[in-house]
Amino acid sequence: MQILVLGPLEVRRAGAAVHVGGPHLRAVLAALVLSANHAVPLDRLVWVVWGDTPPPGADATVQSYISRLRHALGAESIHTVDHCYLLVAGCEQIDACRFERLVHQACDHLESEPERAVDESRKAIALWRGPVLGELGDEEFAHLEAIRLEELRLLAVEIETESELLLGRFGESASRLRALVVEYPHRERFWRLLIRALSADNRRFEARDAFREYQAWLADSGLEPDISFEELTGGQRSPVDCQPPETHE
């Protein structure tokens, strides 16, 4: 069984899609998947479905949803622990877990084995099919985790492009980074990688122009670069932080 959350919520068994029901049932499953192998209290699941205004009999309704999910996923897939429910799943069964593991592996190999880092980061990015959980990703219970995973996706892209630079693929990296700074102008590392790529590709005038754009973007936020053009193009690099930002309920 595979449970996919890097895009619309899907369950697959032997490659075939498994129907898990309507929006409420899918919300309960999403909450269990995001806390896989950790107990989720019944009242938390009630809140996931109805927010702060649950209807009479909400507990019993959620319990019926759990029964239906067990029927769809397998009787041993969801355990009852006191007044909590726990989805039992290995990392290989959940795409978000596989993705996160690949990103951290890529980060670990960036300096020593950039070719391997490229491969691992690309495998991680390829797991994405769209926004986290699709239409459920904007729900309050899923929003912070969706943001965290999206930050990790961008980190994977950063690792991929930096690995390409370390392998001497300056021209193709610069072209891709041009598009990335347009799509993500607030992602400072993309600007720095673009400037480095252009300079390494012997396009110093373009690199200086990109640095001025970078300065102008920072100035709009009342900031200025903490690194000079000469330092940035002379080989000084910012360390890659493999940890996503912390999220808080």
Q: What is the pLDDT along the chain (249 residues), one digit of tens a residue?
A: 999 999 999 999 988 999 998 999 999 999 999 999 999 999 999 999 999 999 999 999 999 999 999 999 999 999 999 999 999 999 999 999 999 999 999 999 999 999 999 999 999 999 999 999 999 999 999 999 999 999 999 999 999 999 999 999 999 999 999 999 999 999 999 999 999 999 999 999 999 999 999 999 999 888 888 889 998 888 656 556 565 444 333
Which stretches does DSSP call E strand in the chain? 2-4, 10-13, 16-17, 40-41, 78-81, 84-87
The pLDDT assigned to 248 comes to: 32
Residues of the chain with CATH 1.10.10.10: 2-92
For 92-109, letters b (16+ CB in 10 Å) and e give: ebbbbbbbbebbbbbbbb
192: nearest Cα among 139, 223, 231: 231
Q: Rounded to an integer, what distance in angstroms lies between the CA atom of residue 72 and that of residue 51?
A: 25
145: nearest Cα among 96, 188, 104: 96
Instruction: Write the burial class of residue 118 (CB in 10 Å: 0-12 exposed, 13-18 middle, 19+ buried).
Output: buried
| CATH 1.10.10.10, domain 2-92, yes or no | yes
pTM score, whole prediction:
0.90
> What DSSP state is assigned to residue 94?
B
Which pairs from 123-127 meet CB under 8 Å and 24+ separation?
124/99, 124/153, 124/156, 125/153, 125/156, 125/157, 125/160, 127/6, 127/95, 127/98, 127/99, 127/102
